[in-house]
Amino acid sequence: MSSNEFFKKTIVVVIGALICCALWGSAFPAIKLGYKSMNIKAHQTNHQILYAGVRFFLAGFLTILIASIIQRKILKPQVESASKIFILAMFQTVGQYIFFYIGLAHTTGIKASIIEGISGFVAIVLSAIILKMEKITLNKILGCILGFSGVVIVNLSGQGFNFSFSPIGEGFILLSTVAYAFSSVFLKLFSKTEKPVILCGYQFMIGGLLMMMYAELMGAQISDFRLRGVGILLYLAFVSAVAYSLWGVLLQYNDVSKVAILGFMNPVFGVILSAILLNELDLLGVRCIAALLLVSVGIYIGSKFSDKN
């Protein structure tokens, strides 16, 4: 069986995407634990950006190192790939996370999670309308609506949610979501001629360096290094390296919509794993079950999962 046939199989797409979502979901509590270990406060946005920059640089290094060991040669990008890697770095790493961290400092985590939940829908719209890579169908729209409904339900706790809008708060979170959606579409586009692992690895390193430079210029520094904190940082780097590389491979062989709609599981995993790892088990209950059902039905309808598609 060829790689093209293998990575287009429904079961492979579902399992692969769910692994990515589970890893990304685990990053939410891991980041909180990492901040605590390194004494980074909630209001220290630039310190958080520095922390993220180190994380993504390490993620890029790990991606290239592991792939190079597996292929028994040092993976280097071609000169003509430089612009593609830079574009991905600006959207996936720099744009997404700088907007996210600044926006998160000016809004609630609940509202940020709900706004971030539309990224799959935005990616599908960009792929279909702007880049003409696929068609929007009624099933895809209905699937996105159900999936987004699940994201809203899993985040509604009765506190921290209202309909106010701040350009630097909710506005920046929205820009972060759009940046991520663009990165997914560009990764699909660039993977036609480039290896996803090379694109992912080097864009992480460049993006991480740019974030560290920005944070340093803003006077940020991390001085409270502890063994537990370093371990968490390495785990977060591993999460980014594995999840984004695997996501890139799935996008290479499938329509954006078939992969992106599975991203609605990301915040569901985030809530469940946060509740377990942060000892917030009271957050689990009917809301999570209802959200999981809505997201699952949305994914099934939106993707029309069949090996024939």
- Confidence band, pLDDT 50/70/90 cuts, at residue 65: very high
Q: What is the structure's pLDDT at 133? A: 64
Give the residue from 246, 262, 232, 258 showing the smallest Cα distance to 201.
Answer: 246
Q: What is the structure's pLDDT at 151? A: 67
pLDDT more than 70, % of the chain: 81
- Confidence band, pLDDT 50/70/90 cuts, at residue 305: very low
Averaged confidence pLDDT in the chain: 80
- pLDDT one-digit tens code per residue, 103-156: 877 776 566 666 666 777 777 777 777 666 667 777 777 877 777 777 677 656
Instruction: Specify if 308 maps to a domain.
Output: no
Instruction: Specify if 43 maps to a domain.
Output: yes
Contacts (Cβ under 8 Å, ≥6 apart) of 159: 110
Q: How many domains does the chain have?
A: 1
Instruction: Specify if 216 maps to a domain.
Output: yes
Q: What are 171's two structure tokens?
A: 């506005």
- Confidence band, pLDDT 50/70/90 cuts, at residue 163: low
Q: Does the pLDDT at position 233 exceed 50?
A: yes
- Confidence band, pLDDT 50/70/90 cuts, at residue 19: very high
Query: What's the rounded mean pLDDT across residues 15-31?
Result: 88
State the Cα angle at 249 between 121 and 177, rounded to 5°.
30
Q: Does the pLDDT at position 266 exceed 50?
A: yes
Print the domain residue range for 31: 3-303
Cut 0.75: pTM above it: yes
Give the residue from 171, 133, 169, 291 showing the smallest Cα distance to 283.
Answer: 291
Give the whole-angstrom CA distance, residue 196 versus residue 80: 15
Q: Does the pLDDT at position 306 exceed 60?
A: no
> 300 vs 2, which has greater pLDDT?
2
